[in-house]
Copies of this chain bind each other. A is one copy, B any other.
């Protein structure tokens, strides 16, 4: 097996394991990873439209509707009509939604801290550099460039 294939394998395994473990821990706090991401985005925006979510998270419109349905059913967000555009609805957090974000934050930090004890400070820096290079590369290869991050501060890949 080539080193490239080995890397792909390790990356996939790592992601799968992290996703599971993190999700399991989150479940105890009353949310899933996907829900949390969405809640945090709504929190940052204050109030936001479906299409803006779809855009920020690089998700299909349908996915957003469904996710918001779930959150609304759980009383974590509310949809209210947009005063300026009667086609649109503005999505915002409820008290319960804000509370979840606040409750989860320390667990997120704890997880990250625990996890990265595996790496020295210089390894972390190396790793970050490599990840950025790979992210630039995959965007060059055709992947969507804007995902959930703040727009406009992309690491310059030139060409």
Residues of A within 8 A of B (CB): 2-18, 20-21, 24, 58, 108-109, 112-119, 123-128, 130-139, 141-144, 147-149
Q: Kindly identify which residue among B8, B115, B132, B134 contacts A134, using a CB–CB cutoff of 8 Å.
A: B115
Residues of B within 8 A of A13 (CB): 135, 147-149
Q: Is there an interface contact between B144 and A118, defined as CB atoms closer than 8 Å?
A: no
Give the number of copies in the complex.
2
Q: Is there an interface contact between A17 and B138, defined as CB atoms closer than 8 Å?
A: yes
Q: A2-B112, A130-B119, A133-B118 are in contact. Are A147 and B17 (CB under 8 A)?
A: yes
Interface of A is mostly: helix
Q: How far, in whole Å, are A131 and B127 apart by their CA atoms in the complex?
A: 9
Q: Is there an interface contact between A11 and B131, defined as CB atoms closer than 8 Å?
A: yes
Q: A15-B11, A16-B147, A135-B17 are in contact. Are A4 and B130 (CB under 8 A)?
A: no
